[in-house]
C-alpha cells in the first residue's frame, strides 16, 4: 500500500493517519456542493468542504467534466460547470481527484484548471493519462498524478482510498472519503460486470469492508435506476459485432465512445479474425488508442493498421473503420461521412455502420439525425434500438444499485449522475430496501447540504448555477443574453433597421431601410415592410436638435417596431437598429 501525504495549512494540525484528533471536536462539518452532475448526467463536479467552527478550512474537488449543448443552445460546442462559487476560495482548495476517464468527468480540466490555482491532481492511471493529453494540448504544464487502487491520500481532514469498479472505461474508481464527521462514499458511474473485457472485476471485498466501518453518506450513480435487474456484461457485444461483420459485403464502420477502449479492443480483435484492416478516423479515437497502447491497455499488431488516405486503394470488404462521433456530433468524422462530406470515406449500399453506444440524455435527436443520414446512402445500420446486444450500458441497473446500497448500508444516500426522474426512481429503490424517504437526499439544483455528527443533514445554502458555454475558442463568451438572441433568431427571425440621421439636427436624411432574415418572405410582405418603415419614421419625428443619447434612439426604434410587428404578425423577431450618424 502506498500512502501519499499533502501538507496542511499552518492553522490546522497535519494528520499522518486516520486519527482526526482536534478535528473531531463537534464543531466541524462537511458540506457537499454539487457544481454539476446532480440532476443532470454530464459536467460532473463535486466539492467536499470541511468547516471548523463554521469557518471554511479545506476543499476537495471530485471530477471536472464537460456537458453537451441541448437543442436550444445554438452554436454552442460544450458546456462547463459554473465555478464562480470558488472564485474567492482558491486558497482553500487542497486538490482534485478524478474517478475515471470519461469526458463528462475529466473534459473540463483544460478550461477550469487555470482558474483553480496550482492545485495537485490525481486519478486512476488511464484517467490521468487522458486528462494529461487535454492539459498538454492547451499548453498547461501541470499534470495529473496516476493512482494505484491500493493508494491512500491524506489531504488535511480528508483521507482518501480507492475501490476499482467496472464501467465502460477501464480503471474506474469509487472514492472513500473519511472525514472527522464520518465516511462519504463517492460512487460515480459503475456497474457490477462479472466478466469484464479487461478481466479486472469490481473490488466487492473492499466495498464490504467500508460498509463494516459505517458510511455516513453514499453518493451513488443513478442513471440506470429505471432498468430492472442487473446490467449485462460487455462480453455479449462481441457476438453481435461478429454477426454484422459477416453480413457486410462492403466496409464496416464501428463507433462507440472514444474512451471505451475495451470495446474498441474487442472490435479490433473481431475485425482481425476476419482479415480486415483497421483505420482510426477521429482525433479523440486516435489519441485515446495511442495512449492506451502505450500504457498496455490495448494490444494489436501494428501491421493491421492503415491510414485513412490509403483506404481508396483497398477493397471495401477488407476495411474496418473505427470512427469518432457516436453521439451524432455535427463536426465528428461519422457525421461528415453520413453527410457525404468526408475526404476519404463515402458510404454505399454495401456498407454497414455499427453504433455501439446509446445517446446521452439530450442527444437523442442528434443520433436520430445521424442514423437517418446514413440510411439515405442505402447502408445497413445496426444500433441498440433494433438490436438488444449491440450496446451494453456502462451504468448499473436497479439490481447493481441495490447491491451497492446493501453492501455499504449508509445512514444517508444521495443519488447523482442522472436526471431528476432517475433520482426519484432511485429514492423508490432505496425505500424498497427499507430506507426512510428523508434519508434519501435529493437537493434541488444549487442546494448545498451540510453534515454534522449526530445531526440530520440540512440545506444551508443555495447557489445560482448557470451554464458556462464554449463557442469556438471562447469560454463563457456566450451568456444568457447571447443565447436568448440566438434562440430568438432561430425561432422568430431577425429584422435589421438602418436609419441615417443627421447628427446636428436629429433628422433622418433618407427613409429607413429594413432588412429581414428568417422573419417574412420579402417579396410577399412588401406592404408590411412599408408600414414598418412608417412606424420607424414616426417614432423619430419627435426628436429635434442635436442628439446626445444615441442608445435612446436605438431603444425607441426597437420598442416601437417590436410592438407593431407583434400586433401584425404575432411574432417577436430580434430587432437590430443600426443608426448611421451623418
Q: Does residue 124 surpass a pLDDT of 80? A: yes
Contacts of 503-508 with C-beta under 8 Å, sequence gap 24+, read: 503/546, 503/547, 503/581, 503/582, 504/546, 505/544, 505/545, 505/546, 506/540, 506/543, 506/544, 506/545, 506/546, 506/547, 507/544, 508/537, 508/540
Whole-angstrom Cα distance, residue 494 to residue 432? 54
pLDDT of 386:
81
**Are the C-beta atoms of residues 143 and 115 closer than 8 Å to each other?**
no
Pick the more confident residue, 504 or 345. Answer: 345
358 confidence band (pLDDT: 50, 70, 90): confident
H helical segments located in 75-161 = 103-106, 109-112, 125-137
Q: How many helical (H) and strand (E) elements, i.e. helices and strands, does the chain have?
A: 14, 26
Half-sphere exposure of 247 (CA within 13 A, CB side): 14
pLDDT of 543:
53
Query: What are the strands, taking DSSP E only, across 491-568?
Result: 494-501, 513-517
Whole-angstrom Cα distance, residue 279 to residue 561? 57
Average pLDDT of the segment spanning 48-66:
95
pLDDT of 360:
79
| Residue carrying the nine cell digits 434519508 | 439
Following CA atoms 258, 264, 265, 271 in sequence, which dihedral angle do they give, to the nearest 10 degrees? -150
Whole-angstrom Cα distance, residue 296 to residue 306? 21
Which CATH superfamily hosts domain 234-387?
Answer: Metallo-hydrolase/oxidoreductase (3.40.50.10710)
Q: Which CATH architecture has domain 3-229+393-471?
A: 4-Layer Sandwich (3.60)
Pick the more confident residue, 500 or 397. Answer: 397
Q: Does residue 522 surpass a pLDDT of 60? A: no
pLDDT of 18:
47
DSSP string of 296-357? TS----GGGB--GGGGGGS-GGGEEEEES-TT--TTSHHHHHHTT--SS----TT-EEEE-S
Residue 103: strand, helix, or coil = helix
* Rg of the chain, C-alpha, whole Å: 28
| Angle CA 390–391–394, to nearest 5 | 160
571 confidence band (pLDDT: 50, 70, 90): confident
Identity of the highest mean pLDDT range in 49-53, 362-366, 470-474: 49-53
Per-residue b/e over 516-536, b at no fewer than 16 CB within 10 Å?
beebbeeeebeebbeebbebb
**Taking the model in full, what pTM does it have?**
0.79
Average pLDDT of the segment spanning 242-250:
93
Average pLDDT of the segment spanning 216-221:
97
Identity of the highest mean pLDDT range in 97-106, 386-395, 476-485: 97-106
What rounded mean pLDDT belongs to the chain?
Answer: 86
pLDDT of 329:
85
Average pLDDT of the segment spanning 45-65:
95
Task: Pick the range with the lowest mean pLDDT from 64-78, 153-167, 261-275, 403-417.
Answer: 64-78
pLDDT of 490:
63
Average pLDDT of the segment spanning 371-398:
90
Q: Does residue 98 surpass a pLDDT of 80? A: yes
Q: Which helix (H) or strand (E) holds 439?
A: none
Surface-to-core class of residue 396, CB atoms within 10 Å of its CB (0-12 exposed, 13-18 middle, 19+ buried): buried
159-188 confidence digits (pLDDT tens): 999 999 999 999 999 999 999 999 999 999
**Are the C-beta atoms of residues 484 and 516 closer than 8 Å to each other?**
no
Whole-angstrom Cα distance, residue 258 to residue 64? 18
4 confidence band (pLDDT: 50, 70, 90): low
453-495 confidence digits (pLDDT tens): 989 999 999 998 887 766 544 444 444 555 555 556 566 778 8
pLDDT of 499:
81
Q: What percent of the chain has pLDDT over 90?
A: 60
Q: Does residue 239 surpass a pLDDT of 80? A: yes
What the block records as the C-alpha cell of 497 is: 433597421
548 confidence band (pLDDT: 50, 70, 90): low
Task: Pick the range with the lowest mean pLDDT from 79-83, 241-245, 387-391, 450-454.
Answer: 387-391
pLDDT of 14:
34
Average pLDDT of the segment spanning 224-249:
92
Q: Does residue 248 surpass a pLDDT of 50? A: yes
What the block records as the C-alpha cell of 329 is: 456530433
Q: Could you state, in order of their start, the residue ranges of all structural domains in the chain?
A: 3-229+393-471, 234-387, 493-581
pLDDT of 10:
32
Whole-angstrom Cα distance, residue 50 to residue 22? 13
Catalytic positions are 221, 395
Q: What percent of the chain has pLDDT over 70?
A: 86
286-321 confidence digits (pLDDT tens): 999 999 999 999 999 999 999 988 998 999 999 999
Q: Does residue 533 surpass a pLDDT of 70? A: yes
Task: Pick the range with the lowest mean pLDDT from 201-215, 463-477, 508-522.
Answer: 463-477
Q: Does residue 17 surpass a pLDDT of 70? A: no
pLDDT of 549:
62
Q: Taking the domain 493-581, which CATH number applies?
A: 3.10.20.580
Whole-angstrom Cα distance, residue 413 to residue 399? 16
Amino acid at each position: 500500500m502506498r500512502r501519499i501525504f499533502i501538507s496542511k495549512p499552518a492553522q490546522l494540525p497535519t494528520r499522518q493517519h486516520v486519527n482526526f484528533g482536534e478535528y473531531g471536536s463537534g464543531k466541524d462539518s462537511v458540506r457537499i456542493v454539487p457544481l454539476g452532475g446532480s440532476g443532470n448526467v454530464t459536467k460532473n463536479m463535486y466539492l467536499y468542504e470541511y468547516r471548523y467552527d463554521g469557518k471554511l478550512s479545506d476543499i476537495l474537488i471530485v471530477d471536472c467534466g464537460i456537458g453537451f449543448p441541448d437543442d436550444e443552445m445554438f452554436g454552442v460546442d460544450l458546456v462547463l460547470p459554473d465555478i464562480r462559487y470558488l472564485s474567492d476560495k482558491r486558497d482553500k482548495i487542497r486538490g482534485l481527484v478524478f474517478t475515471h476517464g470519461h469526458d463528462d468527468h475529466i473534459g473540463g480540466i483544460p478550461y477550469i484548471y487555470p482558474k483553480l490555482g496550482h492545485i495537485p491532481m490525481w486519478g486512476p492511471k488511464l484517467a490521468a493519462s487522458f486528462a494529461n493529453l487535454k492539459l498538454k494540448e492547451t499548453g498547461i504544464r501541470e499534470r495529473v498524478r496516476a493512482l494505484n487502487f491500493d493508494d491512500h491520500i491524506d489531504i488535511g481532514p480528508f483521507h482518501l482510498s480507492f475501490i476499482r469498479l467496472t464501467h465502460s472505461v477501464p480503471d474506474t474508481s469509487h472514492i472513500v472519503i473519511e472525514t472527522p464527521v464520518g465516511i462519504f462514499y463517492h460512487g460515480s458511474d459503475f456497474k457490477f460486470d462479472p466478466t469484464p473485457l479487461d478481466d479486472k472485476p469490481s473490488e466487492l471485498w473492499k466495498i464490504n469492508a467500508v460498509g463494516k466501518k459505517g458510511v455516513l453518506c453514499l453518493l451513488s450513480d443513478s442513471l440506470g435506476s429505471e432498468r430492472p435487474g442487473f446490467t449485462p456484461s460487455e462480453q455479449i457485444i462481441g457476438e453481435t459485432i461478429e454477426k454484422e461483420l459477416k453480413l457486410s459485403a462492403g466496409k464496416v464502420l464501428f463507433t462507440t465512445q472514444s474512451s471505451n477502449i475495451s470495446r474498441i479492443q474487442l472490435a479490433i480483435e473481431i475485425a482481425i479474425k476476419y482479415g480486415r484492416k483497421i483505420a482510426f478516423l477521429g482525433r479523440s479515437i486516435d489519441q485515446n488508442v495511442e495512449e492506451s497502447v502505450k500504457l498496455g491497455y490495448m494490444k494489436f499488431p501494428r501491421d493491421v493498421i492503415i491510414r485513412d488516405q490509403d483506404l481508396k486503394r483497398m477493397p471495401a470488404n477488407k476495411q474496418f473503420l473505427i470512427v469518432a462521433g457516436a453521439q451524432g456530433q455535427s463536426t465528428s468524422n461519422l457525421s461528415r461521412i453520413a453527410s457525404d462530406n468526408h475526404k476519404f470515406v463515402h458510404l454505399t449500399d454495401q456498407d454497414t455502420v455499427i453504433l455501439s453506444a446509446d445517446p446521452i440524455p439530450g442527444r437523442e435527436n442528434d443520433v436520430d439525425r445521424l442514423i437517418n443520414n446514413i440510411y439515405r446512402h442505402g447502408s445497413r445500420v445496426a444500433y441498440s434500438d433494433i438490436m438488444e446486444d449491440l450496446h451494453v450500458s456502462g451504468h448499473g441497473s436497479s439490481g447493481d444499485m441495490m447491491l451497492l446500497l446493501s453492501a455499504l448500508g449508509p445512514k444517508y444516500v444521495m443519488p447523482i449522475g442522472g436526471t431528476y426522474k432517475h433520482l426519484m426512481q432511485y429514492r423508490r429503490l432505496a425505500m424498497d430496501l427499507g430506507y426512510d424517504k428523508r434519508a434519501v437526499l435529493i437537493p434541488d439544483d444549487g442546494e448545498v447540504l451540510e453534515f454534522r455528527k449526530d445531526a440530520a443533514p440540512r440545506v444551508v445554502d443555495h447557489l445560482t448555477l448557470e451554464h458556462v458555454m464554449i463557442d469556438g475558442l471562447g469560454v463563457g463568451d456566450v451568456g444568457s443574453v447571447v443565447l436568448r438572441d440566438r434562440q430568438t433568431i432561430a425561432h422568430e427571425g431577425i429584422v435589421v433597421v438602418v436609419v441615417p440621421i443627421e447628427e446636428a439636427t436629429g433628422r433622418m436624411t433618407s427613409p429607413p431601410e429594413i432588412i429581414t432574415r428568417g422573419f417574412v418572405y420579402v417579396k410577399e410582405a412588401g406592404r408590411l415592410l412599408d408600414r414598418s418603415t412608417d412606424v420607424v419614421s414616426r417614432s423619430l419625428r419627435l426628436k429635434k436638435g442635436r442628439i446626445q443619447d444615441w442608445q435612446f434612439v436605438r431603444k425607441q426604434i426597437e420598442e416601437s417596431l417590436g410592438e407593431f410587428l407583434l400586433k401584425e404578425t404575432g411574432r417577436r423577431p430580434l430587432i437590430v437598429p443600426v443608426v448611421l450618424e451623418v
